[in-house]
């Protein structure tokens, strides 16, 4: 059920531009970028959506956020600003059911996001 295209990226079965990795988290460029920087941060241990996350995943969820912030700082974009997005289920536009955090940066963002 949790097997998605992202599982194949974790196993290096399909190529991806991997920009961040630690024991629990992988970060790679989105194949269809919506900003000059568009990186997806995913847990190596798949969770389908945010709805399935439990208190046991609290540290892992924190690691995803911290990885995104560290990468934005590494790129020198932290002061300018960036956006972090998690889409949950159909109405929010989730298309890959392996929980992931979008880091979007490098251009002015708009609100409401649409
Ligand atoms: P969602 O809409 O589920 O929040 O985001 C899924 C994201 O995964 C989309 O932005 C989409 O462009 C990206 N994506 C889908 N398939 C692939 C892939 O095979 N490689 C990469 N790098 N990104 C993908």
Cβ partners under 8 Å of residue 87, min gap 6: 93, 94, 95, 102
**Of 77, 79, 5, 6, nearest to 37 (Cα)?**
77
Q: What residues does each domain of the chain span?
A: 5-105
Reported pTM: 0.98
- Per-residue pLDDT at 1: 54
- Per-residue pLDDT at 89: 98
Distance 5 CA to ligand 1 centre (A): 9
- The architecture of the domain spanning 5-105 is 2-Layer Sandwich (3.30)
pLDDT in tens, the chain (114 residues): 579 999 999 999 999 999 999 999 999 999 999 999 999 999 999 999 999 999 999 999 999 999 999 999 999 999 999 999 999 999 999 999 999 999 999 999 999 998
- Rounded distance, CA 42 to CA 10, Å? 9
- In ligand 1, which atom is closest to the CA atom of 32? 12
- Per-residue pLDDT at 2: 74
The encoded tokens of residue 38 equal 């568009």
Q: Which of 35, 47, 95 has most ligand 1 atoms within 8 Å of CB, for mutation?
A: 95
Catalytically active residues are: 100
């Amino acid at each position: 059920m949790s097997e998605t295209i992202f599982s194949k990226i974790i196993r290096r079965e399909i190529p991806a531009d991997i920009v961040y990795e630690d024991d629990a988290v992988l970060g790679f460029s989105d194949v269809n970028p919506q900003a000059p920087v568009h990186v997806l941060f995913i847990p190596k241990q798949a969770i389908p959506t945010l709805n399935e996350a439990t208190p046991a995943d609290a540290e892992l969820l924190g690691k995803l956020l911290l990885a995104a912030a560290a990468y934005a700082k590494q790129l020198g974009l932290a002061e300018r600003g960036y956006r972090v997005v998690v889409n949950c289920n159909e109405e929010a536009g989730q298309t890959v059911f392996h929980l992931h955090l979008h880091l979007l940066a490098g251009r002015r963002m708009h609100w409401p996001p649409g």
